[in-house]
Structure 1
Amino acid sequence: MGLNRRNFLGRGIGAGLGIAALAAPMVAAQGRPRVIVVGGGAGGASVARHLAQDSDGAIDIILIEPTRSYYTCFFSNLYLGGLREMATLAHGYGRLAADYGINVVHDWVVGVDRDRLEVALAGGGRLGYDRLVLSPGIDFIDGALPGWSVAAQNRMPHAYKAGSQTELLRAQVDAMRPGGTFALVAPPNPYRCPPGPYERVSMIARRLRATNPTARILIVDPKDSFSKQALFEEGWQAHYPGMIERIGPDFGADRIELRPERMEIVIDGMVEAVDVCNAIPPMKAGRICDLAGVSEGYWAPVVPATMQARADPAIHVLGDAALQGDMPKSAFSANSQARVAAMAIRAALTGARAFPPRFTNTCWSLIDAEDGVKVGATYEATEDRIARVDGFVSQPGEPAALRRATYRESLDWYAAITRDMFG
């Protein structure tokens, strides 16, 4: 949207906004302040539930999410590896409505009027808000992966939004000819779940080891290095020796073209025929951030202490879509940011006390059955970013008992975060 008075004020206020600026409550026409949350994933569902739980009915909460069942992208790689069923990744919104009084609307938001404080729905009608939370996850950058488009996703699935794409990719792997080639085209930074593509390779290798042991896995990676690289490479050598090959930018992986109809990857002019190609394109914030006018470039800058959009203090942006600093784009990060945003919103709308924000993240990855590794950190809000304070990472050569415990810890986390999201 073009520059207007609200845009101008939003840019001026947002640059220095902190918790102290949230003292004056706003009251909606219906008598209670209203918060609209767009997106029902790790950030959106979490902020809606925490607001409902902590405000004791003082805030009217509307969660807008087009799907009735949310499939977690996190842990979907385990489905590809045969360690989970798809049904275990599906979660509904019934308890948020029944137990927490959240008005769950299954629709698309197709516009945001920041002057009127309204969102427009694809199904018709407009809803007013006092605060708007955008947690739309990721979309793909059009044309950024030469030869690939959404129209080609059934030939070369991305499977980076869990559900039918995940099921399609597993079916394609299972149908590979003996000794065939599975290729994964990794995205450039930044993107959702930095270790995700490499855990996916591990799980595909696990499946092929059992069903197609002479198959080959090719990683085409535009990055010089990747998250947990030493741990993954150690695990691949131990569990899948000779099966996995990675090509980096020094061998042309940053100069590629995809030919979905021919099932070919052109790498620096050389043609590579493949049987299955998991193409993960470059990413950006979900489209609603552009429609709301809160994006700069591909992501939406936020005020670290409150997750408010720099462009508009009445809008908060969470999770993968936010440009916030050092936190990786992960479900754990989104959930942590949602707690901070919920506290800030409740303080602004009801006068409740807001405490200094705290952020944490842990990301688990599975290399083989019960061989889990992790990385994590704590963070603090500075003036310009969410800044890393300290961290930890699994180490090469750890005993099997520790790796098994790490994997089982991840199972407990999955159960805990999905309870925190959906009640």
Structure 2
Amino acid sequence: MTLNRRSFMGTAGAAAGLLAAPMLHAQGSGKPRVVVVGGGAGGATAARYIAKDSNGAIDVTLIEPTRAYYTCFFSNLYLGGFRDMDGLGHSYGNLAASYGINVLHDWAIGVDREAKTVTTAGGHTLPYDRLILSPGIDFVDGAVPGWDVSAANAMPHAYKAGSQTELLKAQVESMPQGGVFAMVAPPNPYRCPPGPYERVSMVAHLLKEINPTAKILVADPKESFSKQGLFEEGWEKHYSGMITRVGPDGGADNIAVDPVAMTLSINGEVTNVDVCNVIPAMKAGRIAEIAGITEGNWAPVSAFDMSSRIDPNIHVLGDAAAQGDMPKSGFSANSQAKVCAMAVRGALTGSNVFPARFANTCWSLIDTDDGVKVGATYEATEEKIASTGGFVSQTGETAEVRAATYQESIGWYDGIVADMFG
């Protein structure tokens, strides 16, 4: 499956059209109001599509605390030296200037579902007719004994792109010759299933250039992981002898760290390390929990329009949603956002709503021009977003195929950024 920018930006539609009855919005007069919390691949896309396709008929506010969005997707390539940090950062200015979206740089700290309002740390109270939450991830307290977010400067998670990513790279570059880089991989489910293993590849690529006798130790509580055969083939080919992965059969389901002593304990066996990338268990971003729409760590949604199964006036996108077979990825969030935007627009204005269809592809870079991918298509069912077919790169592919896969990923990156921000 090859996507260029043109085909990528047209993935929201489907077959026969259905007409949604317009909803009487809560304010009684004026335009209906949509508030979007979170300006990543889900939130920015939803805000832009609602504003663009409603032709100004809906008032759209996007609440996002940061003034520049740094993509988690491709941030591993920064660690490997294939991307610079400026190239991962994107402004919200065009959403305001070209689409009339009210971009509020603030933290959403409260949701009153009865009054249908969102409150912010800056003291704003924003009414909504539909609320879209796309807050990404937070970390489960106590998931890795010895680590919490206060230890993130000593043992970075780097799973929210930006300063944490820069910190982790600086730590790797400062490792002593022959030192040890350790990673604590997360349990399922988590953001970007191949992400930790692409990161291992990119750190190995960097160390091969600047610190070739260094070692990488991965403590992984999972029996298996996404694209495992492809990564292990690539590690043997490019980084033979550098990378050791310990799974649960080796005690990696019993992990602890000490950020002060810089140690990693696997089933009681303590190893001194020079850098430790701790990626804890994850949960929906805090505002979803505050809104009271989570069950366990995630927010369950309807596959037909991404609406909360607890409150139909709230929609949840991307990493925060418990939606079925789709992985938690930037592509997934963007795909879900288009389905959600169409449904919200139809509910508020009576415009056509088409059956939900979804797609996802996750690309990973193992070494220079050695790109691999996995993906699938999906449809909405009463139970979940259900897979209708998939694909994955094969072991033993030619260098030309792998290089073409990497180039395809670059085209996708440019396409999704344009789809998010215009």
Give per-residue Cα distances to partners, 1:136-194, cap 9 Å, x unaligned. Answer: 00000011111100010000000000000000000000000000000011000000000
Deviations 1:264-289 (A, max 9, x none): 01111110110000000000000000
Alignment of 1:206-245 (within 5 A): 206-245=205-244
Q: Which residue of 2 aligns with 1:23?
A: 21
Q: What 5-or-longer segments of structure 2 have no aligned partner?
A: 1-16
Q: How far did residue 24 of structure 1 move?
A: 3.7
User: What percentage of aligned pairs have identical amino acids?
Assistant: 67
What SS does structure 2 have at the residue aligned with 1:112?
A: strand
Partner residue of 2:298?
A: 299
Residue 23 of structure 1: CA displacement? Answer: 2.3
1:178-257 aligned within 5 A: 178-257=177-256
Equivalent residue number for residue 7 of structure 2: none
Distance 2:19 2:323 in 1: 19
1:284 correspondence with 2:298? no
In the TM superposition, what are the counterparts of 1:395-410 in structure 2 within 5 Å?
395-410=394-409
**CA deviations over 1:330-388 (Å, ceiling 9, x no partner):** 00000000000000000100001100011000000000011000000000100010000
Using CA pairs under 8 Å that are at least 6 residues apart, name the structure with larger relative contact order, 1 or 2.
2
Once the two structures are superposed, what CA deviation does each residue of 1:49-76 show, in whole Å capped at 9, x if it has no partner? 0111110000000000000001000000
How far apart in 1 are the matches of 2:101 and 2:363? 31
The within-5 A match list for 1:129-168 is 129-168=128-167
Counterparts of 2:242 and 2:171 in 1: how far apart (Å)? 18
Letter of the structure 1 residue corresponding to residue 133 of structure 2: L
- Secondary structure of 1:310's match? coil
Cα offset, 1:30, TM superposition: 4.8
Aligned counterparts of 1:23 and 1:196: Cα–Cα separation in 2: 41
Q: How do residues 104-143 of structure 1 correspond to structure 2 at under 5 angstroms?
A: 104-143=103-142
Paired residue for 2:34? 35
Secondary structure in structure 2 of the residue aligned to 1:265 = strand
8 A contact 2:75–2:88 mirrored in 1: yes
How far has the Cα of 1:22 moved from its partner? 5.1
Report the equivalent of 1:371. Answer: 370
**Partner of residue 379, structure 2:** 380
The answer to whether the 8 A contact 2:19-2:353 is kept is no
Q: Aligned-pair distance for 1:309?
A: 0.3
Aligned counterparts of 1:291 and 1:22: Cα–Cα separation in 2? 30
Residue 14 of structure 1: aligned partner: none
Matched positions, count? 405
The aligned residue for residue 265 of structure 1 is 264
Match of 2:94, SS state, is helix
Match of 2:6 in 1: none
Q: Distance in 1 between matches of 2:80 and 2:340?
A: 35
TM-score, normalised relative to structure 2:
0.95
Residues in 2 aligned to 1:341 and 1:247: alpha-carbon distance in whole angstroms? 40
Which residue of the partner structure matches residue 96 of structure 1? Answer: 95
Aligned partner of 2:5 in structure 1 is: none
One-letter amino acid of the structure 1 residue matched with residue 24 of structure 2: M
Amino acid at match of 2:273: V
Distance 1:141 1:22, change over 3 A: farther
* Aligned amino acid, residue 21 of structure 2: A
Which SS does the other structure have where 1:313 is aligned?
coil
Q: Give the alignment's TM-score, normalised by structure 1.
A: 0.95
Is the CA contact 1:26–1:348 (under 8 Å) kept in the aligned structure 2? no
Instruction: Say which SS state the counterpart of residue 301 (structure 2) adopts.
Output: strand
Could you tell me how far apart the structure 2 residues matched to 1:24 and 1:385 are?
25
Distance in 1 (CA, whole Å) between partners of 2:323 and 2:196 is: 22
Q: Report the secondary structure of 1:309's partner residue.
A: coil
Deviation at 1:114, TM superposition (A): 0.3
CA distance in 2, matches of 1:20, 1:298: 34
1:125 Cα deviation (Å)? 2.4
Specify the SS of the correspondent of 1:303: coil
Give secondary structure in 2 for the equivalent of 1:294: coil
State how far apart, in whole Å, the 2-side matches of 1:111 and 1:255 are.
36
**1:21 Cα deviation after fit:** 10
1:25 Cα deviation from its structure 2 partner: 1.6
Secondary structure class of the residue paired with 2:190: coil
1:403-422 alignment, distance < 5 Å: 403-422=402-421
Aligned-partner Cα distance in 2 for 1:118–1:158 = 33
| Secondary structure at 2:417 match in 1 | helix
- Counterpart of 1:80 in structure 2 is 79
Give the secondary-structure state (helix, strand or coil) at the position aligned to 2:257: strand
Q: Who is 1:10 aligned against?
A: none
* Structure 1 stretches lacking a partner, 5+ long: 1-18
Q: Compute the displacement of 1:20 (Å).
A: 7.6
Q: Secondary structure at the residue paired with 2:57?
A: coil
